[in-house]
Amino acid sequence: MDPTSFCAPSSSGSSSSTKAWIVHGLVVGAAVVVALGAHAYLYLGRSGKFRSRVIGIIPARFASSRFPGKPLVQILGKPMIQRTWERAKMATKLDQVGTERCNEALQKLEKKYDVVVNIQGDEPLIEPEVIDGIVKALQAAPDAVFSTAVTSLTPEDAFDPNRVKCVMDTHGYAIYFSRGLIPYNKSAKVNPEYPYMLHLGIQSYDTKFLKIYPELPSTPLQLEEDLEQLKVLERMAIR
């Protein structure tokens, strides 16, 4: 195992292994046309080809600043990363599960993949259904470049900036991600009636998009919130 860093920027500082992994919804990040500087445009979904070839990658960062060696911490006698891997193997939508930096791993592999699922190594409780769910969500939205999952936000987490909130449109497309509470009630309090959404630390990407994603220049909202995925939403063109 290659001790590597995160392949694609992880959105939240979510290591919420204690959270109940009840999927409340799946979100697809819409980026119909992502401008690539001046020279190229990415027309994803234009080919009309169903993105059937899927790989799951667990990027493990051994030299974590917060917790060195964290992926190898034992949980009930097995390293955390192995637990995560075993759960991921149970997902039926994945052809393969590997543990390397996404882009590097993709280049090394002989087979080509359409979709890569980025499974955080410190999420040993990830439900295989969540993995399958985000793959299906991306496959069902040919105009989307990434998909992710949300669950219900507990009221205690409402004002925690490390818990990333998400709002989506009626079709399940992400409108915005924020460290602040969204939507925000007029009363300036948490509305106990409202089903707030917490963003989970798992994403699946179109592999063509993933190649250019790290190189996309930063955008103002991304920098302000320190949420990588916002640079996709900020460039979004709606067709």
Ligand X SMILES: *[C@@H]1O[C@H](CO)[C@@H](O)[C@H](O)[C@H]1NC(C)=O
Question: Would you report the helix, strand and coil content of the chain in percent, each value rounded to 5?
Answer: 25, 25, 55
Comparing CB distances to ligand X, the nearer of 186 and 239 is 186
162 binds ligand X (CB under 6 A): no
Alpha-carbon distance 144 to 120, whole Å? Answer: 21
* Contact residues for 73 (Cβ-Cβ < 8 A; gap 6+): 67, 79, 80
Q: From the CB of 178, what's the least distance to ligand X, in Å?
A: 18
Q: From the CB of 189, what's the least distance to ligand X, in Å?
A: 6
Q: From the CB of 169, what's the least distance to ligand X, in Å?
A: 20
187 binds ligand X (CB under 6 A): yes
96 binds ligand X (CB under 6 A): no
Joined tokens for residue 6:
């995160």
Alpha-carbon distance 104 to 59, whole Å? Answer: 11
Comparing CB distances to ligand X, the nearer of 15 and 152 is 152
Comparing CB distances to ligand X, the nearer of 152 and 191 is 191
186 binds ligand X (CB under 6 A): yes
66 binds ligand X (CB under 6 A): no
Joined tokens for residue 143:
């105009």
Task: Kindly indicate which of the ranges 14-22, 83-91, 147-155, 179-187 contains the residues binding ligand X, using the contact rule CB under 6 A.
Answer: 179-187
191 binds ligand X (CB under 6 A): yes
Tell me how many residues contact ligand X (CB under 6 A).
Answer: 6
Kind plus residue range of the DSSP H or E element containing 165: strand 165-168
Burial of 40 per CB tally in 10 Å (0-12, 13-18, 19+) = exposed
Residues that bind ligand X (CB under 6 A): 185-187, 189, 191, 193
